[in-house]
A and B are shown apart, each in its own frame.
Chain A
Amino acid sequence: MNLQEKLQILANSAKYDASCSSSGSLKRRTGKIGTTAFSGICHSFSSDGRCISLLKILLTNCCIFDCKYCLNRKSNNIKRAIFSPVEICTITMNFYKRNYIEGLFLSSGIIKSPDYTMNLMIETIDLLRHKYHFGGYIHAKAIPGTSDILIKKLGHLVDRLSANIELPTASSLKLLAPNKEFKKVDRIMNYVHMNKSKKFVPAGQSTQMIIGATQETDKDIMERSETLYKKYDLKRVFYSAYIPVNKDKLLPSIITPPLKRENRLYQADWLLRFYHFTVSDILDEHHPNFNILLDPKTDWALKHLSEFPKEINTCSYKDLLKIPGVGVTSAKRIYSSRKLFTITFKDLKNMGVVLKRAKYFITCNHKYFINPIFFNKQFIESNLVLEEKELNSHNRKQLSLFE
């Protein structure tokens, strides 16, 4: 099998992993070639609109496990391949030099045993770091069930080391990935978290779960994320809309992946990490799923209209963050500027506020943008639902699949 064909097989098998970010690492390595950028760099975008930052490949797509949702599962009759360490290094170095990529993302199917597979990954990355002197970004996926000593070794070679929880709950994992154990994934995340330092996994860990293959509500999913962020200080949780690559009676029979839902989850995830929201703010037993018509922040604001309108010139920083159409950057700008002058609607536009949305929820110097009798739920909701529809058909940007 030639290199071209191998790359095709092993990139194809790796492409369902959503994470491709290359950010968060500090300058530290003294390789002969390569640096890591704190804010991450996208080198290209594929025709599905996702950022390409890393050479995302599997070491092998051979696997002794049989996870129902996975293309590489044992029971699938597909072409199998395995890279040699030197092959991976050659491609990585040649791609990096030409600035095609920011670094390497290496995952693998399991051959023989988790430890055996991890050892191959370590051998490869060790070669890349110490023989080829590669100083760029490396994200490796740890295989659940690997011994701590190997996690330790690998963690010192890479920027990011992570394990996928795959599905939102332990019972779902049991159902669809019968060979995998929830506990083992948890153990890796805990180990990485406890040992994180400038030299060990400096860019932290992330994880991913598949959305829509199992019965969980958005609330179940977000609560899981919230726990993970708190417990292990994860950098990111990636949500990956379920794509039917296999047929199985345990899998839902859908044709198109639930992309809208995935988008809502990312938006809500953003609210948790940067906007001081908790899951209980935005979802509850009566509303366990996101409103598909409105983004979660707008939806929340409409349910809490009594807290609005907020006066831009005096409300707290935390309150600024709660206004639909105001992002973290613009909230900071408003906060620093209003000490110097009184902010008007026109200034807000210059500060990057999305006025189309924000104007319904604010006053500038105690003035509402139209007659205040229109400050009511029905009026605002009617306008914003259509606004959102327009926004979606004009540019279907997927929100922040990269940092």
Chain B
Amino acid sequence: MKQNDVTYIYQNTFSSLLALIKILIDHKIKPMNLKNTDYNPTLLDTIIELELKDEKSFLFWQIKTSKKIINIAYYVFLSNADNKELIIYYFLLNSLKYQEKIIHMRNLKCVDKALKISAYVSHENHKFKGFTRFKELQNHILYATISPENNILPILSKHFQNRLKNENWIIKDEKRQIISIYDKKNFYLVNASNFSLNELQDCQEEKQIAALWKNFYKTISIKERKNERCRNNFMPKKYWKNMLEMSDEIEKDNK
């Protein structure tokens, strides 16, 4: 296990990536590539898949670094940034040396990147705390579709677990085809293809409530202050697709 020019594979989870990084650091390997199992190797790639002991390594990172550092790494993991695994690798490698101080060392590229990417993921998650729109289905389940750039569903679900704790809800990430199902206790992340959500009908009042909201949205705007550019800055068009109150605007745009 000495070559650096190989691609190391981890099992798609954060703890698996942490386990892989621990092994690499233990063996002083500076990897070229770390990828999850979805990776399509080219003919020139050498692939290595190691046996990973997730739990033990997680404990290691908890002891050797800190909650804050692991959290930053986790947010980078949820991002769709290029080479995020390598950024996490170097970020964690340096955390072992510099400990908490690392958070202030933006002159290290991996730190600067990790902080920016994690801030971006957290920012997007914050936006979706507001921009996610549920509708109520006939069986009282609340159902929302989102299409975020990063894989925020796990952290967004935590937010709604608190907020809508006595409701049944489902959030679907249509980009990644994952759904989060909440049963008033826990939420479960599952592959969307295992579920067919198409037969679900809206509840009776749904139309009326939706109309009230769209009406409120239009009414609350002050025409003397009209400033669509400012609105579009705070709420870029990429979010509009799943926002009920923007459906008329989208139509207008398409004409």
Contacts and interface: CB of A to CB of B under 8 A. Distances in A.
A284 interface: no
A33 B169 CA distance: 13
B106 interface: yes
Contact of A42 (B209, B215, B234): B234
B222 interface: yes
A41 B215 CA distance: 21
B245 A44 contact: yes
A100 interface: yes
Contacts of A32: 165-166
B177 to A, nearest CB: 22
Interface residues of B: mostly helix, strand, loop or mixed?
helix
Given A7-B216, A350-B112, A100 B167 contact: no
B163 A256 contact: no
B120 interface: no
A337 B220 CA distance: 44
B107 interface: yes
B220 A46 contact: yes
Interface stretch (B4-12, B74-82, B224-232): B224-232
A396 interface: yes
Interface stretch (A47-55, A110-118, A169-177, A183-191): A47-55
B233 A395 contact: yes
Interface string A1-37: 0011001100110011000000000000000111101
Contact of B126 (A41, A47, A55, A99): A41
Contacts of A11: 216, 219-220
Given A7-B212, A8-B215, A97-B134, A396 B227 contact: yes
Given A47-B231, A48-B227, A15 B220 contact: yes
A113 to B, nearest CB: 29
Contact of A347 (B107, B131, B212): B107
A125 to B, nearest CB: 19
Contact of B225 (A4, A33, A35, A48): A48
Nearest to B219: A11
Contacts, number: 157
A4 B224 CA distance: 24
Contacts of B103: 336
A366 interface: no
Nearest to A39: B126
B217 A46 contact: yes
A52 B136 contact: no
Contacts of A350: 106-107, 112, 116
A46 B244 CA distance: 13
B221 A98 contact: no
Interface in A207-243: 241, 243
Interface in B191-236: 205, 209, 211-213, 215-217, 219-231, 233-235
B226 A100 contact: no
Nearest to A46: B221
Interface residues of B, number: 53
A52 B166 CA distance: 25
Given A336-B104, A340-B104, A350-B112, A48 B222 contact: yes
A341 interface: yes
B182 to A, nearest CB: 13
A45 B231 contact: yes
Nearest to B213: A100
The number of chain A residues touching the other chain, given as a range, is 35 or more
A64 interface: no
A257 interface: yes
Contacts of A12: 219
B250 interface: no
Contacts of B162: 35
A100 B206 CA distance: 13
B176 interface: no
Interface in A91-105: 91, 94-95, 97-100, 102
A214 to B, nearest CB: 18
Contacts of A337: 104-107
A355 interface: no
A185 B101 CA distance: 49
Contacts of B133: 98-100
Given A33-B165, A41-B129, A95 B230 contact: no
Given A340-B101, A340-B104, A341-B107, A257 B231 contact: no
A351 interface: yes
Given A44-B217, A94-B209, A98-B133, A33 B167 contact: yes
A340 to B, nearest CB: 6
Contact of A48 (B105, B209, B211, B221): B221
A251 interface: no
Nearest to B235: A45
Contacts of B88: none
B135 interface: yes
Contact of B142 (A97, A102, A340, A397): A97
Contacts of B219: 7-8, 11-12, 15
Contacts of A278: none
Interface in A327-373: 333, 336-337, 339-341, 347, 350-351
Interface of B: 101, 103-107, 112, 116, 126, 129-136, 142, 144, 160, 162-167, 205, 209, 211-213, 215-217, 219-231, 233-235, 243-245
Given A49-B234, A99-B163, A100-B133, 10 more contacts: A32-B165, A32-B166, A35-B163, A47-B228, A48-B225, A48-B227, A97-B136, A99-B132, A100-B244, A350-B112
Nearest first, the 5 A-B pairs at minimum CB distance are: A49-B230, A46-B221, A48-B225, A49-B227, A336-B104
26 contacts: A32-B165, A33-B164, A33-B167, A42-B234, A43-B130, A43-B131, A47-B221, A47-B226, A47-B228, A49-B228, A49-B230, A49-B231, A94-B205, A94-B212, A95-B212, A256-B224, A257-B224, A333-B106, A336-B103, A337-B107, A340-B101, A341-B107, A347-B106, A395-B233, A397-B233, A398-B227
